[in-house]
Amino acid sequence: MIEILLLTLTRGSLYAFVALGFALVFGSGRVLNLFHGSFFLLGAYGAFFLSSAAGAEGRPWVTLGISVLAGLIVAGIGYVYYRLLLRPFRTNSLRLMVLGMAANLVVADAMRTFYGTRGALVPSIIAGSFSIGSVRVLWQEALLVPAALVAVGTLYLFLSRSQAGLAIQAVAQDPGAAELVGIMPATVLGHTVAVAAFLAGFAGALAAPTRVVGPDMWSFALMVSFAVVVMGGVGSLVGTVIVSYALAAVEIITSIVISTAAAEAVALGAIALFLVIRPRGFFDVSAR
């Protein structure tokens, strides 16, 4: 039980971190941004290239700053992507999905061409590990838990207290009414995509030391984000957080009881099941 709890906390925190931005864009603009997976990939590679250039090994504060900087760079990339591709085609769902998947493949091929297929290793912010009973956890993995809590809390304050956050909520509830009071939905969506890109990029930078960074990391982030949003409900950040930990728990239990291969299919099975029996998810705010 201790092993299941610890692994659920670390994996669920990563899932929440990755999926929050995807849910935010989907809820505020009803836009399915499939390029979201590359935000995670670019954050991981950004942390690798920046840490290599800065010689961050053994310098935790430098490594932490690099992780934040990688997230900010990805936020800028996300906004450029919005202006060039997402904004012109945001009303055409099919074309937008095709463009998103194509952009993911282009980014993955660019990383493969520039760096190759060998795995990139990123230094940890906190090196080493600790044990609770027979369970050993990396400090870097444990760092994801408070980082996710801070991200959720900061996002909540941003949405509920800031003018930009209130504008995002207004557009999510009624784009037409928001435009009548001077809020431009297209501009707000651009800011939302930038915030989502930062969250996913920062998550990729934090997760990079715990895994081998490779060109295909985008597929993991996209599959997790899509599964969490489908189950959590359109526009529900609370549902996103709850389902992130629930999905992680189910995967951990499945890997222990059955096999790791079976656990990898849990997210895909959950997507198919919920699209059939409950396409709006558990916490769909649009149905209220």
Query: How do the domains of the chain map onto residue ranges?
Result: 2-282
* Token pair for 232: 């959590």
Q: Under DSSP, is residue 120 helix (H, G, I), strand (E, B) or coil?
A: strand
Predicted pLDDT of residue 284: 64
Fold of 2-282: ABC transporter involved in vitamin B12 uptake, BtuC (1.10.3470)
Which phi and psi (to 5°) does residue 74 adopt?
A: -65, -35
DSSP of 203-259: HHHHHGGGS-B-TTHHHHHHHHHHHHHHHH-TT-HHHHHHHHHHHHHHHHHHHHHT-
Q: What is the pLDDT along the chain (288 residues), one digit of tens a residue?
A: 778 888 899 999 999 999 999 999 988 888 889 999 999 999 999 999 999 888 777 788 888 999 999 999 999 999 999 999 998 888 888 888 999 999 999 999 999 998 877 777 888 888 888 887 777 888 998 999 999 999 889 988 988 888 888 888 888 878 888 888 888 888 899 999 999 999 999 999 999 998 888 999 999 999 999 888 888 876 678 888 999 999 999 888 888 888 877 787 888 888 888 877 877 777 765 544
Closest-CA residue to 156 (of 230, 241, 71)? 241
Q: Torsion angle, CA of 18/20/23/29, rounded to 10 degrees?
A: -110
pTM score, whole prediction = 0.90
For tokens 């961050």, the residue is 56
